[in-house]
Amino acid sequence: MYAFVFLIVVSFIFYIVYKVRSVRTNRPIEKRWLSAKSSIALGLFVGFFGINQLFLRQTTVTYIIAALFILVGFGSVWAGWKAYRHYLPYAISEAEELDKK
């Protein structure tokens, strides 16, 4: 159970870091790339929170809500991963292009 608490805290910290970096950047593709990374971190946060709830209480309502959290969280991780892979080559070329100037 403490491992999930640690993972929840770490994923939330990564979410904050990537969201702040996304807001502070001026590059449009890098902004989308960092937003995808923050989506992955937020999805992990929600998913791990749902898994952690399964250990705290064993009621039917908890199982239903935890299942929703897990599905939404890991669905967000999957969508964020797809966006991350899509924007990565564009972010690299954007960074190389701006470094040449």
Q: What's the domain range around 70?
A: 2-100
Q: What is the CA radius of gyration of the chain?
A: 16
Which pTM does this prediction carry? 0.90
For 3-44, the pLDDT digits (tens) are 999 999 999 999 999 999 999 999 999 999 999 999 999 999
The residue among 13, 18, 82 whose CA lies nearest residue 45 is 13
Measured CA to CA, the distance from residue 98 to residue 101 in angstroms comes to 5
Considering the chain, what is the average pLDDT of its residues? 94
Count the Cβ atoms, other than its own, within 10 Å of residue 7: 17
| 39 contacts 79 by C-beta, under 8 angstroms | yes
**In the chain, how many domains are there?**
1
